[in-house]
Structure 1
Amino acid sequence: MNLSQLNYFKKLAEVLHYTRAAQELFITQPTLSGAISSLEKELGAPLFERNGRSVMLTPYGEVFYEHVCLALRAIDDGVAAVSARSSASFGTVNLGTTFTTQDHYLPTLIKSFEEAFDKRVVVKVSQGFTNYLTEALHRGTLDVAFCGKRDNETDIEYFPVKYCELALYVREDHPLAQEESVPFATLNDVELHTYRRGTPIGNRVSKMLEEADVIGANLNYDDDVSMGSFLSYNGGNAGALMLDSLGAQLFSNLRQVRVEGIPDRFYTVYLACHKKHVHSRAVSDFIDFVKAYPGNDPAVPEAE
C-alpha cells in the first residue's frame, strides 16, 4: 500500500466513476483499475461494486474512506506546517460554498484575492449544501467554506460575511405578484414551498412558520436554485419562501413579495474553517483576506 493508491482510492470514492476519476487523476483507466485491485487484494475486502457504468462503495469501502481522508489530511497538515514557515504564499485553497454567495460576492472576492496575491494562489471552488460542506471541513477535503452555521460545531470557526433576506416569491402571473408586502396570515392561502428541516436555514424557517401559525408548507428543498426552478415552471397558486440569492435571480418571471414580520437580515452566511487543522500559508492568507474584505456586509450580527 502506497500514497498513490490511497489518493487514487479517495478520488474514485468521491467521483464513483472509473473513467472520470482517471481523467481527473491524469492517469489511464487500467492504471487506476490495477491500483484499486491491488489495494483490495492487500486489504482482503472489496472496496467498490459495480452500479451500471458507475461504481459505489461497499460497506468496507465506506469505512476505509473515512480513515483514508483522516490519514491524507494528517499528511497535508504536516506539509502545511512546513509550508507555513515560507515567506511566500503559494498553492491551492479548496473552497466549498452554498448558492448564497454565488451572486456578485464570491466572483468579486476571488478576483480581488487572486489579484492581491498575483495569482500565486489558486482557489478551487466546489458547490454543496451546508451539512455536506461542514462534514467536508471535518474530513479535511475542504480548507474553508461559505455556508450556514450548524449547532454544536465546536471545532468549526465561523466568521460572518454577508446576510440574505427571506421573502415570498411568486410567478409574475400569481395574484400576489403586484403586492409589495403581505401579512404572515396570507401564507396560509398559498401553496407554500420552502427549505427542509435538518438544514440551518430550514430549521430557522420551520420554527418561524410554527410560531406564526402558518400550516401546510411543503418543506422539501435543500437549495434556492431548485426551488426557484420549480416555481418558475409551475403556475397556479404556488409560492416559495426563499432567500434573495442566486436562486431567485436566475428566473426573470419571479416576483418578490415582502412578508410583514420576517426579521431583516434573516440568514447569515459565514466563512467556516476547522480550528484543529493546520492551514497552509495560502489558506491562512485567504482566511485573513476574507475577514478584512471590504465587500463583507458590515451590518451582519456576530450571532443569530
Structure 2
Amino acid sequence: MNLSQLNYFKKLAEVLHYTRAAQELFITQPTLSGAISSLEKELGAPLFERNGRSVLLTPYGEVFYEHVYLALRAIDDGVAAVSARSSASFGTVNLGTTFTTQDHYLPSLIRDFEEAFDKRVIVKVFQGFTNYLTEQLHRGALDVAFCGKRDNEPDIAYFPVKHYELALYVRDDHPLASADAITFAELNAVDLHTYRRGTPIGERVAKMLEEADVRGASLGYDDDVSMGSFLSYSGGNAGALMLDSLGAQLFGNLHQVRVEGVPEHFYTVYMAHHKKHVHSRAVTDFIDFVKAHPGNDLIGQVLPEAVAE
C-alpha cells in the first residue's frame, strides 16, 4: 500500500460516498474504486459495504480507519514541524467560525492579516457550530476556530477576542418595540424563542432563564441567523432572546429591547486551537496576529468566570 491509497481510504471513510469522495480528491471514481479494491485485497478483509448509493465502514474498516487517521496526522505534524522552522510564512490556515463572528469582525481580521503577510498565507474559512468546530480541532481538520468555550477541554487553548450583548428582539410592529427595557417577568408574556441546550450559548441562556423564573421559552435554535430569519417573518407575539450579532443585523424590521438583569458582555467568542498539534509557521503567525489585533474587544482584559463561556 502507498500514501495515496491511505489518503483515498481516509476520505471515503469520512464522506461514505464514492462519487463525492472522488470529486473532493480530484480523481476519477474508477481510480478510487481500484485503490480501495487493492487495499482490501492486500489486507485480506472488506473495508466497506454498499448501502444504496453510499457505503458504510465494515468493522474491519472502522479499526483500519483509526490507525490510518493517526498515521496521516503524524505525517501532517511532521510537515508542519518542518514548515514552522522556515524563515518565511506561507501556506494555508484552515479556519472554522460560528455565524456570530461573521459580522464586521472576521472579514476585517482576515483582510488585515492577508495585507500584513502580502497574501502569502491563504485563509480558508469553514462554518459550523461550536461543538462541531471543537471536534474538528481535535481531528486536525481545522487549525483555528472562532467559537464559544466548551467545558472539559484541557487540550484546547482558548483566547478571548470578542464579546456580544444578549437582548430581546421583536419585530417593529410588536407591542414591545417601543420599550427601551423590560424585566424578566415581562418576558413571560412573550412567545419567546432562543438558543437550544447542548451548546455553550444555549446552556448559559437556559440557566439564566431558570434562575429568573422565565418559563415556556422555546429552546430550539443553533444560530443567530436562523433565529433572526424566523422572527423577521413571524407576526403576533413572537420575540427572540439572542446576541447582537449578524442574525440581528441582517433583518431591518427587528428592534432591540434591553432586558434588565442580563449580565453585560453576556457572551464571549474565543479563538481556539489545539495545544498538542504541531502548527505550521503560517498558523502560528495567524494565532499571534489575532492576539495582537486592535479589533479585539478584550485585549489586556481578564474575564471573570461568570462571563468566560
- What's the % identity of the aligned pairs? 82
Alignment of 1:122-271 (within 5 A): 122-271=122-271
Q: Is the 8 A contact 1:13 1:65 kept in 2?
A: yes
> Aligned equivalents of 2:188 and 2:66: distance in 1?
45
Partner of 2:10: 10
Q: Is the 8 A contact 2:46 2:58 kept in 1?
A: no
Q: Is the 8 A contact 1:66 1:139 kept in 2?
A: no
Question: How far is 1:15 from its partner?
Answer: 3.9
Corresponding letter in the other structure for 2:51: R
Question: How far is 1:65 from its partner?
Answer: 4.2
Q: Is the 8 A contact 2:196 2:220 kept in 1?
A: yes
Does 2:51 correspond to 1:50? yes
Unmatched 5+ stretches in structure 2: none
Unmatched 5+ stretches in structure 1: none
> Aligned equivalents of 2:246 and 2:48: distance in 1?
38
Does 2:92 correspond to 1:88? no
Q: 1:176 to 1:94 in 2, by over 3 A?
A: same
> Aligned equivalents of 2:56 and 2:238: distance in 1?
37
Alignment of 1:5-84 (within 5 A): 5-43=5-43, 44-47=45-48, 49-52=50-53, 54-55=54-55, 57=57, 61=61, 64-84=64-84
Q: 1:58 to 1:214 in 2, by over 3 A?
A: farther
165-174 or 85-94: bigger deviation: 165-174
Question: How far is 1:40 from its partner?
Answer: 4.1
> Aligned equivalents of 2:280 and 2:182: distance in 1?
49
Question: How far is 1:233 from its partner?
Answer: 2.1
Q: Is the 8 A contact 1:84 1:279 kept in 2?
A: yes
Corresponding letter in the other structure for 1:113: F
59-68 or 5-14: bigger deviation: 59-68
The superposition leaves residues 8-36 of structure 1 with CA deviations (integer Å, 9 ceiling, x where unpaired) of 23333444443333233221122123223
157-166 or 215-224: bigger deviation: 215-224
> Aligned equivalents of 1:174 and 1:66: distance in 2?
54
Number of corresponding residues: 303
Question: How far is 1:174 from its partner?
Answer: 1.7
> Aligned equivalents of 2:252 and 2:57: distance in 1?
41
Q: Is the 8 A contact 1:96 1:126 kept in 2?
A: yes
> Aligned equivalents of 1:233 and 1:40: distance in 2?
53
Q: 1:214 to 1:59 in 2, by over 3 A?
A: farther
> Aligned equivalents of 2:195 and 2:62: distance in 1?
29
The superposition leaves residues 236-295 of structure 1 with CA deviations (integer Å, 9 ceiling, x where unpaired) of 211111111112222222221111111111000000011111111111001000001111
Q: 1:185 to 1:28 in 2, by over 3 A?
A: same
Q: 1:213 to 1:79 in 2, by over 3 A?
A: same
Question: How far is 1:212 from its partner?
Answer: 0.3
275-284 or 57-66: bigger deviation: 57-66
> Aligned equivalents of 1:175 and 1:280: distance in 2?
54
The superposition leaves residues 110-166 of structure 1 with CA deviations (integer Å, 9 ceiling, x where unpaired) of 111111111111111101111111111111111110010011111111000001111
Q: Is the 8 A contact 1:49 1:58 kept in 2?
A: no
> Aligned equivalents of 2:158 and 2:203: distance in 1?
18
RMSD: 2.0
The superposition leaves residues 177-227 of structure 1 with CA deviations (integer Å, 9 ceiling, x where unpaired) of 222211111111111111111111111001000000011111111111121
Q: Is the 8 A contact 2:8 2:25 kept in 1?
A: yes
Q: Is the 8 A contact 1:70 1:140 kept in 2?
A: no
Partner of 1:117: 117
> Aligned equivalents of 2:260 and 2:47: distance in 1?
57
Partner of 1:100: 100
- Partner secondary structure for residue 239 of structure 2: strand
Question: How far is 1:169 from its partner?
Answer: 1.3
What TM-score do you get using the length of structure 1 for normalisation?
A: 0.92
64-73 or 183-192: bigger deviation: 64-73
Corresponding letter in the other structure for 1:8: Y
> Aligned equivalents of 1:79 and 1:157: distance in 2?
22
Q: Is the 8 A contact 1:171 1:235 kept in 2?
A: yes
